[in-house]
Structure 1
Amino acid sequence: MSIQTFQLLQTEDIDISHMNAREHHKQLHILPRLHTNSIRKTLRVTNIVIIIATLLPFIISNLYYSIILNQYQSIIKNVYSANNLSSRLQDEMYTTIWNVVSGKTKFEDNAQYQLINNIRDRLNELENNATSEDNSYLIRVARNTLDTIEGYVNKIGENILAGLPVRENERLLGEIRSVSELLYDVIQKFIAAEMEIAHIQNTKIQRSLELMTVFQMILFTSILAFLIINYKKLNRSINIPIYRLKTMASQIAQGDLSIRVEKPEISELDDLTDSLNTMAEKLGMLIAQNIQKQQNLQKAEMKALQAQITPHFMYNTLDTILALAEAGQNKDVVTTTLALSNFFRLSLNKGRDWVSVGEEISHVESYLSIQKMRYGPILDYKIDIDKTMLNELMLKILLQPLIENAIYHGIKQTRRPGVITLQGSLQTDHLVFIIEDNGLGMEDSALEHLRENLSHYDVSNPESGFGLYNVYKRIQLYYGTNEGLFIESQYNKGTRVTLRLPIITDSNKMQTPV
């Protein structure tokens, strides 16, 4: 099985003093700062504008239609009440008073006054609900006319009490009929005036509907234009900073560690930018330190300098982020960016070689999350770690190269979806990790050849298994054991790698390789 290789530092013939002098005078290349808005802020402003632009016209139109509708209903109520009153004037007024005059109803029963008071109450109600001052005036005229009728009724009562002839009351009844007709006419004028106002209100409603339709079309066009402009702005605010970071990663991959990128003022990319700048700075420092150390160590030591961060992986990841941004998948951009930032942060680990098992697992999860985003349904993974071992210390970046090996030389070599399983358990005085994949696997001869390469690695041929050798040799150097890595494989079924690490109890053993 072929193994994905890390870049080796070629340090045998490097003149340290010459390199330090050159680096001392080398000026840092800083990419210009980007003046763009935060993605979250832009999205928040967009959402607020859309909500306001949607709700405000809706609220205003509802309030306006509620007011107009209430006025319209009040007019209809007035018209209905006035029509009912007109019917009573025609049907009841003359009949009730005639019954009093003719003696069918006693004057003392006050039926005539009850009718007059009822009509007066209805007139008062119409005046209170009148929609204009002119209409209120008509009701006041009608009430004065009713007062005149009441005066005639009082006169009829006086005539009956005085015992005057019926003929005199009949004359008064004729007057009452004339005045009642006048009252009827006044109420009909009131009805006509209210109907005219109703017609005006109806015209206003129709006109407002037309205006609202035009306004909604303009609003929709404005929102659409705003969204298009905002989309382009947001697209630029994502693509440009990511392109700058991609350029930086590409130059770092080519060996230019002097490049720096200022913060692009996009909060989602701040951590990634800081991590990349810190990485470049730390890499420069670590290279100088590692050169000094490699004079005293074997060529196979490879202290996880370039193994900590694979430029090819970083370059491909930023390509993936850029593709997601161009597709408008902003949520996936944020998720992948945060995963990459966490990956870099844990990789650097402030220059320390030892981390907790929990931190190492977090580092692997970040790596797998990025690869899952890249390969989609082709790749799946499961992680099952005993919680009692999370605080134990281990040498950093031992699991990620094995996971990477399983992906690139196991899963990718098949044409079917693959699953990588990572298990961790605490066994007496050892930390045991098992990395298993259902990829291509290896034939027995290839497996045996790979096992031999672990102890007789040819540094002139990095394609022969540098990733596994790196892990094997670092376990040997830091833990002092040759039994830390064991490989099993079956062709067309998959590969199983077991990592068995002694538990560190003496902090002095963490300082330098064994």
Structure 2
Amino acid sequence: MKRVSFFNSLRVKLGIITIFMIGIPIIVFSLIYSQNVKNVIVKKYTESAEASVNETSEKINLILEDINKFSSLIISNQELLTMAKNHQNFSQNDFNNKLRSFITIRSDIEAIKLRIEENSYSIGVNIINEDPFIPPELKNSKGQPIWMPTKDVEIEILAGNFKKYYYTLSRKLIDYNTLNHYGYLMIDLDEIILEQSYSEIQGEENEEVFICDRNGRIISHPDKSKIGTYITLKPYGEEILSNDNGNLEYFAGEKRLAIFSTIDNNGWKVIKTIATTNLYREINDIQRFLSILGFIYGVLIITFMIIFSIRYTEPMFKMMGVIKKVEEGDLSARMPIKSNDEIGHLGYSLNNMIDEMQNLIDKLIEEEQEKKEVELEALHAQINPHFLHNTLNTIKWMAKIQGNISVSKAITSLVKLLRVSTNLSKEKITLAEEIDYLKNYMVIQRLRFNEEISLEFRIEEDCLQLKVPKLILQPIVENSIIHGLEKKSFELKIRIKVYKKEEQVFIEIIDNGPGIKKETLDNIFESESAYDKFSKVGLNNVNKRIKLYFGSEYGLNIRSKPGYGTKIIVNLPDMINY
């Protein structure tokens, strides 16, 4: 008996089954549960964050809309418009006083500036080295509000100079009656106003809230060093800029969640991001608890399975020991029965089987002894085929000596027929050998029927080495001779044609005999004819042997019509070494 390998051991298999049936489901359940909890936490946080971000977006939209209305109030002021048209007639002080009348009603505005041709007028904070550049989008506008990106400026106060961040609303100064353009209005606002509007939704660490414009340039951020920089367009920035609101997950050194909403007034976006690790703190405690519980449960299961496998596999090992002894020839070995369960019944059956084996061996020895005695008795009465061959050869030479050549030829053919038929070691022969066998058979048949039979061969050369079952043509030709010459008085013609077609070999045996009736033809393979008893192999036998050797798609096909002869087609595979 071969030694059972480790992985084929029943105990190992029980352990593997336990892992698959209990351990893996626990792990899968824990993973699915954890993931579902994570999804719920993220969903609830996302819904809450989206609501707060949308609310902040609406709040900022109101602030910007209010500034828009204030700017409209200024550019529609007829007195200011008249001063701009005739700015050469008014002094710097006149313009400053006019602008002061507007700024006094708004405490949230840092400065109001008016630029007419090369002249600049301003009221509010004093900005040092202010850039007079007018951006193209303002020059190309048609009077609509243009929100400029936040810029850092250095302002001058009594305590000294310091840096501040301003975002600016700019508009063309247009007389809508004539559509003439007379200058530019710019209103500076402190960026801290924007920061205060979203500071309420700024949460714990690893969270950040900021505002960017349509191009992804940061307008407001708690970290002032990031103002003026651009959000990363890949992998998440493009989706944020191309959608009005929503949320997405992205990776930037860590996995983060971004929630964003668009400010209707100018297309700026309020964006809040948070590290997902902040959201998973609750689930981490649950996962820790499940891991400890799973470990304890796993230890208990493994302990139980070890005890179980020892208890229930020990009888199996004893049974294997008994089987090994039986394999070695010890039929006295028996399985001790200690339980009434399935293993006990199996042991009982094994003992019965060993008893039956012992009885069968005893009986076989007895029968073998009787068989030897019978064979010894039959040996004395048996005719040795070699003795028969030698006797026929002696008769052949006696016929030759006496000048009876036809009898000599017939005996020679008969000897060759007997040599093939008594050679039990060869089941298949070449087609050439089968044809030689058939020719020897025809020598005897022509002698019997006084040369009233003609046999014609048309065989493709490359078909002669094909392997075919022995004695498949002789029974077919014999059938043609018996049925043909018993009912015809003229010469019987038999033609054998062999050819290949579509990887198959076809052997056609055609005779000019009386033909076969339809009812006989329909039942020809169901029973052997009386003539088959002589040859021992009839048409049905040939058909069965071909199908047995090569498959059900091969065999005999008989076509016949009374008065028109018979054609039998033998279908074989095109194989030389089958």
- Shared fold per TM-score greater than 0.5: no
Report which of the two has the higher share of helix.
Answer: 1
TM-score (norm 2): 0.32
* Higher strand proportion (structure 1 or 2): 2
Q: Which has the larger radius of gyration?
A: 2
TM-score w.r.t. structure 1 length? 0.36
Which structure has more relative contact order (CA 8 Å, sep 6+)? It is 1
